[in-house]
Amino acid sequence: DAGVIQSPRHEVTEMGQEVTLRCKPISGHDYLFWYRQTMMRGLELLIYFNNNVPIDDSGMPEDRFSAKMPNASFSTLKIQPSEPRDSAVYFCASSIGTGLNEQFFGPGTRLTVL
Amino acid sequence: AQKVTQAQTEISVVEKEDVTLDCVYETRDTTYYLFWYKQPPSGELVFLIRRNSFDEQNEISGRYSWNFQKSTSSFNFTITASQVVDSAVYFCALMGNTGGFKTIFGAGTRLFVKA
């Protein structure tokens, strides 16, 4: 069975450009989480969804960040406009049943904003 | 506020040594969950264990064991007879019942196991 799929795996862009990160959760999982990992701040939860509905977006750093989940098999995290400090690895994770269960992480997207 | 502290930034051991990774947490929630995840060099995080606050039984899984002590707010992880493949960053994490399903991660401990 396929795990969580993220694309692209690497993204290099210039400051001011729009960036869209994509995630396909494991089929049947009803929770989806977006995380950001940096050396300075470690792993931070940005937002999570339950049954495609955003539940907690308190971790989204600024209005430049937005996330959507139009259906159970697809989510996007968008940064517009991007800034160098957004450079990080962005992980998507999914879980099933309750948010208490183990989260299955995707391979991450390494974003570099020049 | 919830907090997870992993005081050990890096640990280096020789293969076959036992190693313990420390995790101390803070929460005011009476019900909470603790996790350990492994992040190998490939980058993906891999779930290792979940423990709820009402279950203080220690757990052993192969060479891995976990010691949960509410009295000291600690949830330590021991690898027995370490192997090179254990080299990774290990994260301890906390989820409290009043924070929805928001997981707070520690800073991680990087473990190097040398052959």
Overall average pLDDT of the A26-49 stretch = 94
Contact B44, B112 (CB under 8 A): no
Task: Please give the backbone phi and psi of residue A86, each rounded to the nearest 5 degrees, phi first.
Answer: -85, -5
The minimal CB distance from B100 to the residues A42, A56, A91 is found for A56
CB-based contacts of B24, cutoff 8 Å, min separation 6:
B4, B5, B6, B7, B72, B73, B74
- Smallest CA–CA distance, residue A18 to chain B, in Å, is 25
Of A31, A99, A105, the CB nearest to B44: A105
**Contact across the interface for A89 and B43, Cβ inside 8 Å:** yes
Q: Convert the pLDDT of each residue in B29-39 to its tens digit.
A: 888 999 999 99
**Is a pLDDT exceeding 70 seen at residue A99?**
no
**Mean pLDDT taken over chain A:** 94
Q: Which residues of A touch B44 (CB under 8 A)?
A: 105-108
Asked if B101 lies within 8 A of A55 by C-beta distance, the reply is yes
* Residue A1 pLDDT grade (very low, low, confident, very high; cuts 50, 70, 90): low
Asked whether residue B75 carries a pLDDT value surpassing 70, the answer given is yes
Average pLDDT of the segment spanning B73-101: 92
What would the mean pLDDT of A41-67 be, rounded to a whole number?
A: 93
Q: How many CB pairs under 8 A join A and B?
A: 52
Q: Which has more pLDDT, B58 or B84? A: B84
Distance from CA of B101 to the nearest CA of A (A): 5
How confident is the model at residue B98, as a pLDDT? Answer: 76
Chain A residues whose CB is inside 8 A of the B108 CB are 42-43
Q: Of A31, A103, A108, which is closest to B43 when you measure between CB atoms? A: A108
- Across residues A29-53, what is the average pLDDT? 94
Mean pLDDT of A50-70: 93
Is residue B99 predicted with pLDDT exceeding 70? no
Distance CA A69, CA A91 (A): 15
B101 and A48 within 8 Å at the Cβ level: the answer is yes
Residue B107 distance to chain A (closest CA, Å): 6
Residue B13 has pLDDT above 70, yes or no: yes
Task: Test B45 with A56 for CB contact under 8 angstroms.
Answer: no
Mean pLDDT over residues A29-39, rounded?
95
All residues of chain A having their beta carbon less than 8 Å from the beta carbon of residue B109 are none
Task: Give the B-side interface with A, CB within 8 Å.
Answer: 33, 35, 37, 42-47, 50, 91, 95, 100-108
